[in-house]
């Protein structure tokens, strides 16, 4: 008898012996794709260089790229979850770990978020650091909520309740 009881009453297909190998492989492949996308975003929009009129550049530059990447990634995660759970319910079982954990997990960069906050604090920018902390969390949560809402709206667009024959006559 377990001290805390059973946590899984129904076996999950990913929890069977030998099932982890394919999941690990698709998460790794997706993570590589996501990391390359994040790298590309950083190359296209370097931190501070495009916003030099508003924010400082260099070590005290506002980390725009990680902020945008994290908010966009959270928006896409919200949309992905709705799409897979409400529309594409019979999608291949490895699609969610590939796209969600892999691609979007590799694309978003919450580890850079904490490092950028530390860098701002060390460079005498405590107000900017706190603003970045708050803006990233609020933006990420809003991104998930907006992605979820947009996906639901897109999935329900064009669906009309069945017309009743007596209403047509």
Q: Is 108 marked within a binding site?
A: yes
- To the question of pTM greater than 0.85 for the whole model, the response is no
Instruction: Place 51 in a pLDDT band, splitting at 50, 70 and 90.
Output: very low
The whole domain housing 99 covers 19-156
Query: Percentage of the chain with pLDDT > 70?
Result: 73
Per-residue model confidence (pLDDT) at position 42: 82
Tens digits of residue pLDDT in 102-116: 999 999 988 888 889
Q: Does 45 fall in a domain?
A: yes
Q: Average per-residue pLDDT in the chain?
A: 82
Mean pLDDT of 79-83: 96
Three-state helix/strand/coil letters over 107-164: HCCHHHHHHHHHHHHHCCCHHHHHHHHHHHHHHHHHHHHHHHHHHHHHHHCCCCCCCC
Number of structural domains found in the chain: 1
pLDDT(29) > 90: yes
Q: Does 165 fall in a domain?
A: no
Q: Does 40 fall in a domain?
A: yes
Per-residue model confidence (pLDDT) at position 63: 86
Choice among 27-41, 106-120, 131-145 with the minimum mean pLDDT: 106-120
Q: Does 162 fall in a domain?
A: no
Q: Does 150 fall in a domain?
A: yes
Positive/negative CA dihedral, 46, 143, 147, 8: positive
The per-residue DSSP string of 67-121 comes to HHHHHHHHHHHHHHHHIIIII-TTS-TTHHIIIIIIIIHHH--HHHHHHHHHHHH
Q: Does 114 fall in a domain?
A: yes
Q: Does 110 fall in a domain?
A: yes
Mean pLDDT of 139-143: 97
Q: Does 8 fall in a domain?
A: no
């Amino acid at each position: 008898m377990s001290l805390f009881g059973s946590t899984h009453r129904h076996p999950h297909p990913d929890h069977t012996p030998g099932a982890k190998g394919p999941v690990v492989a698709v998460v790794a492949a997706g993570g590589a794709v996501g990391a390359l996308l994040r790298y590309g975003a950083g190359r296209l929009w370097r931190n501070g260089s495009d916003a030099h009129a508003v924010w400082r550049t260099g070590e005290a530059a506002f980390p725009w790229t990680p902020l945008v990447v994290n908010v966009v990634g959270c928006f896409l995660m919200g949309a992905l979850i709705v799409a897979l759970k409400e529309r594409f319910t019979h999608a291949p079982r490895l699609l969610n770990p590939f796209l969600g954990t892999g691609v979007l997990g590799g694309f978003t960069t919450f580890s850079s978020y904490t490092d950028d906050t530390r860098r701002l604090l060390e460079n005498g920018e405590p107000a900017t650091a706190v603003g970045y902390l708050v803006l990233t969390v609020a933006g990420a949560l809003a991104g998930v909520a907006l992605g979820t809402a947009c996906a639901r709206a897109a999935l329900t667009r064009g669906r009309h309740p069945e017309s009743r024959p007596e209403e047509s006559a």
